[in-house]
Amino acid sequence: MLDNGTYHEESDMLSIDNRLREQLGYEKRSEFVAQPYVDQEADIRDHVLHLKFRFFSEEAVSGCRLALEEAAYTQGELNGNKIDRNPDGYYVDECIQTIPLTDVKAGENELVLHMQFGKRTNLEWMYLLGEFGVQVMGPEKKLCKKLKTLYFGNYGEQGFPFYTGNLTYKMEVDNGGQDMLVGVPYYAGAALRVSLNGVKKGYIAFLPDEILITDVPVGKNTLEITCLGNRFNGFGQVHLIGDDLAWVGADSWRTEGNSWAEEYQLKPMGILRAPVIRTNRA
């Protein structure tokens, strides 16, 4: 809702930005528009944008934070409780500041934000951060209980569909003092970092997707394989249809028609099949 108008139907944040700019006669933020840091116009914000988010949680969650740009120009309430808009950190980029939220309750929740809006406002995606899992069902999603143990396979289907950080798999390996050849033939991530008993042994990034570990102690050893994530499922074109594009620009986040899907187009992430461990006596 803009100023004292009425709320519109649910829509993606960037689609809302396009609609507002068209309504107010502002130039749309496409790939042909200069970046804000070269725009010398004064940052005048003479409108207020009201955003309403409803989401379901299977259980109460404490200690959540909201990550967003334009935090200094935004006020809000979660379930009617005023939000402290003083940033307590940032998420991924220093421009995406985090602000603490009151408790998320079990059941339906409503987050309402009031943002000062003008030509130079950066209306971007916002992120709910916390110790919870997320279940995605087409275009719908809900908060669920965070699993204590993950398995090999796409971790996006295990409660982390929008997670973009690193994930470490820990396993106990019995060894008789032989060298170990650790192979990970199928994974989705930037690379894999391999450690044994807390000591980094190297990376798996290229074919044949394996690493030789020497001087392995006799007995039980802790093997750790960290999948180095990428940012696509949190920051990429998750509504864009088409995997064969030669390149992508700013407009690929704002597609329409047959190039747009309400359903999330997420990528598999993690170690997608169990590692293969061989010794020199195997």
**Model confidence at 107, in pLDDT bands (50, 70, 90)?**
very high
Summarize pLDDT for 42-62 with one digit per residue, the tens: 788 889 999 999 999 999 999
Mean pLDDT across 200-216: 96
pLDDT (0 to 100) of residue 281? 56
pLDDT in tens, 225-282: 999 999 999 999 999 987 767 777 888 898 888 889 999 999 999 999 999 999 875 4
C-alpha neighbours within 13 Å on the C-beta side of residue 4? 0
- Tens of pLDDT, residue by residue over 143-191, are 999 999 999 999 999 999 999 999 999 999 998 889 999 999 999 999 9
pLDDT of residue 193: 99
Measured CA to CA in angstroms, residue 212 lies from 193, 217, 271, 277 at distances of 13, 14, 18, 10
Structural domains of the chain in order of their starting residue, each with its CATH number: 13-131 (2.60.120), 151-282 (2.60.120)
Give pLDDT, residue 244. 63
Q: What is the pLDDT of residue 36?
A: 64
DSSP string, the chain: -BTTS-------HHHHHHHHHHHHTPPP--TTSPPGGG--S-----EEEEEEEEEEESS-B-S-EEEES-GGGEEEEETTEEP--S--EEESEEEEEEEE-PPBPSEEEEEEEEEEE-TT------EEESS-EEEEETTEEEEEPPPS---SS-GGGGT-TT--S-EEEEEEEEEES--EEEE--SEESSEEEEEETTEEEEEE-STT-EEEE-SPPEEEEEEEEEEE--SHHHHS-TTB--S--S---GGGGS--GGGB-SS--PPP-EE-S--EEEETT-
pLDDT band at 209 (very low <50, low <70, confident <90, very high): very high
The pLDDT tens digits for 2-35 are 888 888 888 899 999 999 999 998 888 776 666 6
